[in-house]
Structure 1
Amino acid sequence: MLSDKAKQMFARLKLEIPAVAVQYLPVKPQAVEHCDKTLAFCQYVKEAQDTGKTFYISKENDACYGKVALGMVPKPPVTACGQAGLDFGVYKSLSGCRKLYQQLPVLVPGAINYVVFAPVASCDFDPDLIVLFADIPQADIVMRATSYLSGDLWESKSTPVVSCSWMYAYPLISGKVNHITTGFYHGIKRRDIFKAGLRMISIPFNKIDEVVTALDEMDWTTIAFRTDEQSKAELQRRMDHWQEMAVEMGCSCDLS
């Protein structure tokens, strides 16, 4: 179950729209409400944010390609051949769009049949993903937390269409946090689900505890950006130490 510490740390970010926990299941969940709407997969994240409810969906609820990314259904040949991307004007040729489908990250076919969504604040299960939408100052904190302990590199992988594969499947396949900017991606933009310019960050299960620990331990405003005199003096002390190290190591240090 998602820890109280995790809920506290994500609440501390004061996100404009709530972070959402997502769980993938092979069999129908018990004691969870079934959402009877038919929406695009990404719209169910917004549904959880707007209603504050925990609910589940099946492939029958998904009116777009989240169900493809999760391996619930095969890649549809008409779109996988590149026709939709060509007709939308996103790609110049069938070949260009077809390349996307040849490389699209997809979870093991048939392994996932139900998806549970819940606001992080009320999540009572172990999420496969935590998905959040942050402005730049908030995203700076979250992304630093993804590498503060591990030193992991930041990367952003996506495609102009079927961005759901990169945000809801790729993090689980790769074990890496992925992040994109709203306003760039065809389905999200077309449906006007989230305002442009937010950083959408998807944190897979294996990174959640690490990110929470980092948020709890690290300075959210690093010392170089603090303006109080004590911090300025401490930063200068540390920088002076670099020069002492450089002398001992027989090199120079030009950082300032």
Structure 2
Amino acid sequence: MGTIKTDLSGYRKIEFARSPVGVKFQYFKPHDLPPLDAGRVLSLCELITEAQDTKSPFYFSRKMDDQCVGKIILGMADMESFAQSGQIGARLKVFQEPRTNYILYQHVPRIEKDVVNYVAFSPLDKLSFEPDLLIISATLAQAEILMRAMCYSTGELIRSTTTPVMGCAWIFVHPFKTGRVNYLIPEMVHGMHGRQLFPRNSALISIPYHWISTISENLSEMELHLTSHRSKEAYLEEFGEILRDLNESAKNP
């Protein structure tokens, strides 16, 4: 760890209410970061807000306790048999019966057991490591800009994949293992909704290392706030003018 090579300047053009958080999965202990405060027992998703609230980097380890399924998702712990059978989701009334909760688990991505021993977290301006993920809590307007930046030079599809429980898997594991940017609405995930971790009507976006530089470069280059987004009238005027110009130019290509 130390000075990072990845250009993150594009993200600083957007005035996020809460800092983007860099995340890194590690087998060996990160000696230049402090551990999570010993008095803090949090869920995996809460570690994002912990980095935002404390404005300081830290690491979480398999030896620490958590409040939810984070260590299971990270391959640091096994799921209890009663949980694996789907009992919890049915009692929470998220699922009709345990069987549907059980069936859903086959879709939830996890890191293989004993691959990750530590997870480093850092707010954007304190990053001293090359992040595996950049996780951003954004307003819907800011989310549109970020996802447009992904598409701007690539034509990539915008995708959102999640499940009503174990949403942390789709923010931490899915982007890391697939290389795909993913986003979700926190209120659609049971734990995030119940814990009230993120602002209402916001999006949580996870950008894997494959995309961090591309999106940053595109944010630096492209126009963030489009004329057509100012109002319906502005949209119709700009779109109409473009069509008129192209129709005229197409007469003599």
Question: TM-score, length-normalised on structure 2?
Answer: 0.89
> What SS class does the counterpart of residue 169 from structure 1 fall into?
helix
Judge conservation of contact 1:183–1:195 (CA < 8 Å) in 2: no
**In structure 2, what is the Cα distance between the partners aligned to 1:150 and 1:28?**
36
Q: Does 1:17 align with 2:11?
A: no
CA distance in 1 between counterparts of 2:200 and 2:230 reads 29
Letter in 2 for 1:19: P
- Residue 243 of structure 1 aligns to a residue whose secondary structure is helix
Q: Which residue of 2 aligns with 1:124?
A: 128
What is the alpha-carbon distance in structure 2 between the residues aligned to residue 221 and residue 153 of structure 1?
21
Q: Please give the alpha-carbon distance, in whole angstroms, between the structure 1 residues aligned to 2:200 and 2:122.
A: 23
Deviations 1:120-148 (A, max 9, x none): 11101000101111112111111101111
1:215 Cα shift? 0.4
What is the letter of the counterpart of residue 98 of structure 1? Answer: Y
Contact 2:6 2:130 in 1 (8 A): no
Ranked by relative contact order (alpha carbons within 8 Å, sequence separation 6 or more), the top structure is 2
Q: 1:61 to 1:149 in 2, by over 3 A?
A: farther
* Equivalence for 2:61: 58
Q: Which amino acid aligns with 2:28?
A: V
CA displacement, residues 161-211 of structure 1 (integer Å, 9 cap, x when unaligned) = 100011100001211111111222111122222222111100011110111
What amino acid maps onto 2:200 in structure 1?
Answer: A
Instruction: Report the alpha carbon displacement of residue 241 of structure 1 after superposing the two structures with TM.
Output: 4.1
Match of 1:44 in 2: 47
Q: CA deviation at 1:238?
A: 3.8
Aligned residue for 2:30, secondary structure, equals: coil
Whether the 8 Å contact between 1:25 and 1:114 is mirrored in structure 2 is: yes
CA distance in 2, matches of 1:218, 1:95: 48
CA 41–234 in structure 1, closer or farther in 2 if over 3 Å, else same: closer
| Residue number in structure 2 paired with 1:254 | none
For residue 193 of structure 2, what is the aligned residue in structure 1?
189
- Cα distance change on mapping 1:4 and 1:164 into 2, 3 Å: closer
Q: Tell me how far apart the structure 2 counterparts of residues 72 and 148 of structure 1 sit (CA, whole Å).
A: 38
Whether 1:206 and 2:210 are equivalent positions in the alignment is yes
Q: Matched residue pairs, number?
A: 245
Query: CA–CA distance in 2 between the matches of 1:178 and 1:76?
Result: 28
- The percent of aligned pairs where both chains have the same amino acid is 30
Q: Give the drift of 1:75.
A: 3.4
Alignment of 1:49-198 (within 5 A): 49-59=52-62, 60-198=64-202
Relative distance call for 1:23 and 1:245 in structure 2 (3 A) is same
One-letter identity of the residue aligned with 2:154: S
Which residue of the partner structure matches residue 246 of structure 2? 242
Contact preservation (8 Å) 1:72, 1:112 = yes
Change (3 A) 1:97 1:245: farther
Matched, 1:28 2:41: no
- Residue 31 of structure 1 and its aligned partner are, at CA, apart by 1.7
**1:214-247 deviations in Å (ceiling 9; x for gaps):** 10111112343468xxx99986664334324655
Unpaired runs of at least 5, structure 1: 250-256
Give the Cα separation in 2 of the matches to 1:113 and 1:14.
33
Q: Gaps (5+ residues) in structure 2?
A: none
The change in CA–CA distance for 1:2 and 1:201 in structure 2 (over 3 A counts) is farther
Separation (CA, whole Å) in 2 of partners of 1:27 and 1:117: 15
Helix, strand or coil for the counterpart of 1:57?
Answer: strand
Is the CA contact (8 Å cut-off) linking 2:13 and 2:219 kept in structure 1? no
Q: For residues 159 and 234 of structure 1, what CA distance do their matches in structure 2 show?
A: 39
Alignment TM-score, normalising by the size of structure 1: 0.88
Per the TM alignment, residue 3 of structure 1 is displaced from its structure 2 partner at its CA by 4.8
